[in-house]
Structure 1
Amino acid sequence: MGLDKAYERMTAVAVAALHEREPARLWPMLAGALAELCGGEAVIHKLDDWSERAGTIGAAPDAAAAELQRLGEADLALLRAGYPFARHYANRTDRMPVSALRAAGRRWPHSPTARLLGAALDVHHVLGVPLPDSTTPVTGCLVYRAGRDFTDDHLAMAERAQPLLAAVERQRRLLEKWRRGLGHGGATDERAVDERAVDCALTPRETTVLLLLTDALTADAIGRRLGISVRTVHKHVENLYRKLGTRDRLGTVLRAQRLGLVPSPGPP
C-alpha cells in the first residue's frame, strides 16, 4: 500500500475513532493504521505522563502487548525512561517526529533500550511521534520496526498524522472526564451514562461539545480545545438544540443536567 493510501486509511480510522463511545478503544483503533503509515510493525502509545516508576503503556498488536506484559519492573522502567526521546524533546520546543537513530546517533544501537527492544520485540529502530501540544514529559506514540531505520518519507507521514492523533487524544480525555463526572467510577454507572447519551441520539463528538458547553466555553474556545473549526462547533451545537429540544446554550445545559447527560452544579 502506498503512503497516500495509508494516510487515507489513517484518516478514516481517526474519524471512526471520534465516533467510538468507549475511550479505552480509541488508541488501539489507531495503532495499526499508524504503524502501517510509518512503516512500523508495532506501536506503544502513552496514555498519560510517564515517569520511570509509573505510566500506562498501551501496545499493539496483541503480540507486542503480550511481550510487554512479560517484562519485569526494571525493563518497564527502562522503556518509560524514553531514551533517547525524553532528552531530545526536553531540549527543544518543536515536536517533530524523529527516529532514535537520528536523535542519538551511533550510540542508539548499543544502548540498553535498544538491546531490550531487540530481545523483547525483535525490533531495532524506534520512531517518536509526540502529540503536537505535549509538554515535558512528552506524550505520544513510539513506532517500532526491524531492519533499516525509518525513512524521510516515514517521518513526513508521521508529521501529517500528528493532528489526527491529537484530535483523538483530546476526545479520549474529554470522554473519560465525562464518564468520571457522571459514572462515579463504576462500570455499571458508566454503561448507564452511555445509555442516556444513546437514548438522546447524541454522538460521542456531540457529547464532548455538550460537556464543554457546560464549562461555559465559547465556540472559539471549544474549537481550539477539540481542534475543529468554529463552523463545525456551531453545527454540533445546532444538533444538540434539535436533539434536546432547546433553543439556546443555557437551556441546553439545564436540559442536559436534568437528563443526567452532564454533571449538575454542586451546592454552593
Structure 2
Amino acid sequence: MLSVAVDALHEREPERLWPLLAGALPDLCGGETLIYKLDDWNESGGTVGMPPAVADGFARLGDEEVGLLREGYPFAPLYATGSDRTPVTARRAAGAAWTTSPTARLIDGLLAADHVLAIPLPGTAYPITGCLVYRSGTDFTDDDVDTALRLQPLLAAVDQQRQLLERWRRPAGPAADCALTPRETTVLLLLTDALTAAAIGRRLGISDRTVHKHVENIYRKLGTRDRISTVLRAQQLGLVPAPSAPPDRAGTTPPAVGSRP
C-alpha cells in the first residue's frame, strides 16, 4: 500500500493515476480486476476506466449492457440514500437478488466474475464516485472489505491529486495563472490539510528543506507571508477546495451572516 501511495504522489501525469491504482488495488483487497468511475454511478454516461483486456470487451457491448455496467447496481441506490460510504459487496447489498440480476449475468460474461466490491470515495456527496473490484468464486471476505475501508483515504488523496494536476495543466486554470508547479500544488494541498513540513516531507518522500523551499515559492507566487493567509488566498483563487459550512443542530446549513432568518 505504501509503495502505491509513493508512486502516485510522484506521478506527474493525471491520466496515469487511476490506471496505476487499478493495477495494484485488486490484489490488495482480494480481487482480480477493477473498474473505476470518475463521475456519478448512473446508466446515462460518465467516465469509465478499466484494464485494456476489459476495455476490449466493453467496446463490444450494446447500449443496454453498457448502461447496466455504468449504473453500478446495487451500489448507486444504496449510497444515494445517505452519507455512509463504507465499502460493501454486491451480495451483501442486494442479498440473494444479486445472483439472478442482469448485472451479475453481465459481469459473468464480460469479466468471468461472480462478485463485486464497491469502494466509493469517502466524503463524496453527489455525484458518487469510486471503483468496483471484481472476483470469481466466493464473495469477498470481511478482511477484504476491511482492507478496502483502509484504502479509501488513499483513493481520495490520489483523486484529489489528479484533479489538482488536471487543473494545473489547463492553460487558463488558477495554478497556471499563479505559475505553480505540480509539486508546489501538491504541497499547497497538504498545507491546507494542516500537515507540518516534516509530515509533508514524509508523505512526498522529500526532505524538510525541500518542503520549505516549495513553501517559500508558494508564498512568493501567491503574495502571502504565512500558512493561514496562503490557505485563504488559495481558496479564493480556487486552487484548493473551500471548506463547507457545518450544519446546525437541526441538520440544516445556518444562514449566511446578514441574511434574514
Counterpart for residue 252 of structure 1: 221
Counterpart for residue 142 of structure 1: 132
What is the aligned counterpart of 2:213 among 239, 250, 253?
Answer: 239
Q: CA deviation at 1:56?
A: 0.5
Residue by residue over 1:112-151, the C-alpha shift from the partner in whole angstroms, topping out at 9 and shown as x without a partner, is: 1001111111111000001111113321010000111000
Counterpart for residue 82 of structure 1: 72
Aligned: 1:35 with 2:26: yes
Counterpart for residue 39 of structure 2: 48
Q: CA deviation at 1:109?
A: 0.7
Counterpart for residue 107 of structure 1: 97
CA contact (8 A) 2:32 2:133 kept: yes
Q: What TM-score does the superposition give when structure 2 sets the normalisation length? A: 0.73
For residue 152 of structure 1, what is the amino acid of its counterpart?
D
Counterpart for residue 15 of structure 1: 6
Name the CA shift for 1:241/1:154 in 2 (closer, same or farther; >3 Å). closer
Name the CA shift for 1:205/1:133 in 2 (closer, same or farther; >3 Å). farther
Residue identity over aligned pairs, in percent, reads 53
Counterpart for residue 184 of structure 2: 206
Q: 2:215 & 2:187 partners in 1: Cα distance?
A: 12
Residue 107 of structure 1 aligns to a residue in which SS? helix
Residue 34 of structure 2 aligns to a residue in which SS? strand
Q: CA deviation at 1:208?
A: 3.3
CA contact (8 A) 1:14 1:30 kept: no
- How do residues 69-218 of structure 1 correspond to structure 2 at under 5 angstroms? 69-182=59-172, 204-210=182-188
Name the CA shift for 1:182/1:15 in 2 (closer, same or farther; >3 Å). farther
CA contact (8 A) 1:85 1:103 kept: yes
Q: CA deviation at 1:237?
A: 5.7
Counterpart for residue 229 of structure 1: 195
Q: 1:114 & 1:241 partners in 2: Cα distance?
A: 50
CA contact (8 A) 1:50 1:56 kept: no
What is the aligned counterpart of 1:67 among 43, 50, 57?
Answer: 57
Q: 1:142 & 1:100 partners in 2: Cα distance?
A: 10
Aligned length: 215
Name the CA shift for 1:238/1:73 in 2 (closer, same or farther; >3 Å). same
Unaligned 5+ runs, structure 2: 202-207, 225-233, 238-261
Residue by residue over 1:167-217, the C-alpha shift from the partner in whole angstroms, topping out at 9 and shown as x without a partner, is: 00000011111111448xxxxxxxxx8xx87xxxx5x3423345x6xxxxx
CA contact (8 A) 2:184 2:215 kept: no
For residue 23 of structure 1, what is the amino acid of its counterpart?
P
For residue 252 of structure 1, what is the amino acid of its counterpart?
K
Q: 1:70 & 1:175 partners in 2: Cα distance?
A: 32
Q: CA deviation at 1:233?
A: 5.5
Name the CA shift for 1:237/1:150 in 2 (closer, same or farther; >3 Å). same
RMSD over aligned Cα, in angstroms? 2.8
Residue 18 of structure 1 aligns to a residue in which SS? helix
Q: CA deviation at 1:84?
A: 0.3
Write 1 or 2 for the structure with the bigger share of helix.
1
CA contact (8 A) 2:17 2:158 kept: yes
